[in-house]
Amino acid sequence: MLGIKARVLRGVLVVGATMTVLPAQHSTTPVLFVNGFQTPCPGSGLAGTFGQLPGILKQDGATSVDFFDVCSSAGSSIEVLAGLLTAKIQSYSVPVDVIAHSMGGLVVRAYLQGWTASPFLNPPANPKIRKLVLLGTPNAGVLNVFSIWPSNQVAEMQFGSPFLWYLATWNQQYDDLRGVDTLAIVGTAGIGGNGNPSDGVVDVASAAIGFADSSGVRTRAVPYCHAGGAAALFCTAGAAALANVSGTSHLSYQLIRSFLDGTTDWTKVAPQASAVSNTGGLQFSLGAPGGGFYYSNQLTAVSVAGGGLAYALKNPVANSPFWYNDGIPAGTNYTLTMNLAGQQVNLPGVSVPAAGFLTFRLKFPPWVALVAPAAASTPGALSVAADSLISIYGAGVASGTVQSSVSPPPFQLADVSLTIGGTPVRLLYVSPQQINALVPTGLAPGLYSLVLTTSQGKDAINLMIERTVPAIFALANNAAAAEDAITGQVVTSSNPATVGEYIALYATGLGPTVPSNGLEVATTTPAVYVGGYAANVVFAGRAPGFVGLDQINVQIPAGVQSGNSVPVVLTSGNRVSNTVLLAVH
């Protein structure tokens, strides 16, 4: 990969890059509020759920405050509400900040995934959400106390429901909230339960967003109740409501204000959820060879055991393929045991996260577990771009190890063939655990079926294609794969870059290109930041002579502090790349 000589600097006018530091100020982005489950409808309106918060944000400078009321289609499924929300958000001319309470957060998640009244998923190409705040959203399910309000919406919010399973696994068995910057706020004033702290209606593990933020940083815990009224019966007496902001001293307001403004104060206002909960949950299914799942009449005695303890996994309804338990202590490596057709299958090393849910599908080989940009460390982004290099991880995905030695790469290696949306995929490398491949060019943004075929059988998963999904290649110790753009010498700690020097970075996922002066130039120019400073990009596009490989030529900006581990990151569209390290002296 290194050794590519950049010849794009000749005749290019270079404008120096500087870093402008703005004084702290409130975000002026429009804010859209989405309320939660209401009974009866019409409910209590905007103020009934969010109290003074809309007015305070308007006073702080938000250009507008809007409201999506779930009672706009009373009693409808969450999918139907997501369709109505789609029409509302897509009507905005600019991205908005969205603040959602309880079930409203599930409506927003379903919107991001393109759920409609039918099961077909049609994700919006541009989500038009700048930042998202989820307040007490039952991402994995609601506690049993919520069953006192029976409805089809409540049924969809039960632990282990088909709706919540598919919501969590819509894109290659995961959900990353489409990369939208998200903060979850969870309450801990609930009474009783199964060992998980809760807000009385939703436990901390369910309301957390570990599925999209493995660090846990973006889930914050406050000593509040889910809501007032009947919900307060399940909380400590006198506890404030999670979303009903009573003033600027309310912790939810302080978290939201800082998060929307882009400051780091929200990291100090309240602790991470994992600091207040040492239990989590597990959702599980086993894929059948011909597609679909094994059901509870086929798959029995499912449990996780470790540290001398065992926890049964439960079905929400009779003969369901989805199993769950929402009160499993974290910090132990469990063995998942299942009895299938007279045989016992064991999966060791199952680690349940503190204050979070582990959701996964197993399948006998071939099993595709994850697809990621080839340059990003897994799990990375769940979406990929057309004409980009990807890595497919799993079990038994090939019968042997073979690397392509021809150009263009073939459509079959060993016993492996692959299609995305019915289009054959070129293969660069296959092994039993990993496949490296090239996403076909020209695929429009949307959700596609990726189908793997081997001598052992097939596997199929959904895969989201986005216009751009940037990922930077790295060498050992996460050092940037970078060269001096003139000499081609590799940038290392013994041969560092210098301020003002032009370097070439290598990446994938920059998206469509147009021909210009014999080069393929990216139609969307990425922004590159070196040590937090914006770098001047003089070229971004395909590396000459390579398939799927992108080259970005930048000038090291003034102000960058010297060091062997200067962070480099790039953004394109609404996606942020992985961070690599660069030596700059």
Per-residue tokens: 533: 């400073």
- 153-157, Cβ contacts within 8 angstroms, sequence gap of 24 or more: 153/37, 153/75, 153/76, 153/77, 153/78, 153/103, 154/37, 156/77, 156/78, 156/106, 157/37, 157/103, 157/106
Main-chain dihedrals φ then ψ at residue 128, nearest 5 degrees: 60, 30
Q: How far apart are CA 235 and CA 189, in angstroms?
A: 5
Block residue for tokens 């030695």: 405
CATH number at residue 399: 2.60.40.10
Domain boundary among 223, 253, 275: 275
Q: Residue 95: phi, psi to the nearest 5? A: -60, 150
β-strand partners of 534: 529
Q: How many helical (H) and strand (E) elements, i.e. helices and strands, does the chain have?
A: 9, 35
Query: Which of the 8 DSSP states describes residue 152?
Result: H
- Assess whether 167 and 313 both reside in one domain: no
Written as tens digits, the pLDDT of the chain (585 aa) is: 333 333 333 222 223 333 333 345 899 999 999 999 998 899 889 999 999 999 999 999 999 999 999 999 988 999 999 999 999 999 999 999 999 999 999 999 999 999 876 656 899 989 999 999 999 999 999 988 777 677 889 999 999 999 999 999 999 989 999 989 999 999 999 987 667 899 999 999 999 999 999 899 999 999 999 999 888 989 999 999 999 999 999 999 999 999 999 999 999 999 999 999 999 999 999 998 878 899 988 888 899 999 899 999 998 777 889 999 999 999 999 999 999 887 888 899 999 999 999 999 989 999 999 999 999 865 568 899 999 999 999 999 999 999 999 999 999 999 999 999 999 999 999 999 999 999 999 999 999 999 999 999 999 999 999 999 999 999 999 999 999 999 999 999 999 999 999 999 999 999 999 999 999 999 999 999 999 999 999 999 999 999 999 999 999 999 999 999 999 999 998 889 999 999 999
Structural domain contains residue 413: yes
Are residues 399 and 521 part of one domain?
no
Could you tell me the residue range of the domain that residue 394 belongs to? 367-466
CB count in 10 Å sphere of residue 11:
6
What does the alpha-carbon distance between residue 146 and residue 172 come to, in Å, rounded to a whole number? 30
Per-residue burial over 510-536, b = 16 or more CB atoms within 10 Å of its CB, e = otherwise: bbbbeeeeebbbbeeebebbbbebebb
Flag whether 16 is in a domain: no
Distance CA 110, CA 123 (A): 9
Which value, in Å, is the radius of gyration of the alpha carbons in the chain? 25
Count the Cβ atoms, other than its own, within 10 Å of residue 582: 24
Scan for tokens 């506890």, then name that residue. 239
Q: Same domain, yes or no, for 264 and 286?
A: no
Residue 123 and residue 217 in one domain: yes
Rounded Cα–Cα distance for residues 541 and 288 (Å)? 42
Residue 23 lies in a domain: no
Residues 375, 304, single domain; the answer is no
Cα torsion 527, 531, 532, 533 to 10°: value is -60
The answer to whether residue 388 sits within a structural domain is yes
Number of Cβ within a 10 Å radius of residue 5: 12
Please tell me whether residues 240 and 134 are part of one structural domain. yes
18, part of any domain: no
Among the listed residues 297, 454, 283, the one whose alpha carbon sits nearest the alpha carbon of residue 353: 283
DSSP label of 274:
G
- Torsion angle in degrees (nearest 10) through CA of 454, 455, 458, 464: 0
In a domain, 377, yes or no: yes
For residue 132, which of 159, 158, 104, 154 has the smallest C-alpha distance? 104
Q: Verify that 383 and 482 share a domain, yes or no.
A: no
> What pLDDT was estimated at residue 25?
80
346 within some domain:
yes
Among residues 450, 466, 482, the one where a domain terminates is: 466
**Claim to verify: residue 134 and residue 173 sit in the same structural domain:** yes
Cα dihedral sign, 328-329-331-336: negative
* Same domain as 286, residue 268: no
Dihedral of CA atoms 34, 36, 37, 41 in degrees, nearest 10, equals -50
Whole-number Å distance between alpha carbons of 530 and 387? 26
Residue where a domain terminates, one of 242, 275, 308: 275
Counting the structural domains of the chain, the total is 4
Strands 129-135 and 181-187 turn out to be: parallel
389 and 354 part of one domain: no
Asked if 552 and 574 sit in the same domain, the reply is yes
- Tell whether 505 and 436 lie within a shared domain: no
Give the C-alpha separation, 386 to 573, whole Å: 14
In a domain, residue 8? The reply is no
Alpha-carbon distance values, 373 to 233, 393, 439, 525 (Å): 48, 11, 10, 18
Closest CA relative to residue 70, chosen from 62, 79, 61: 79
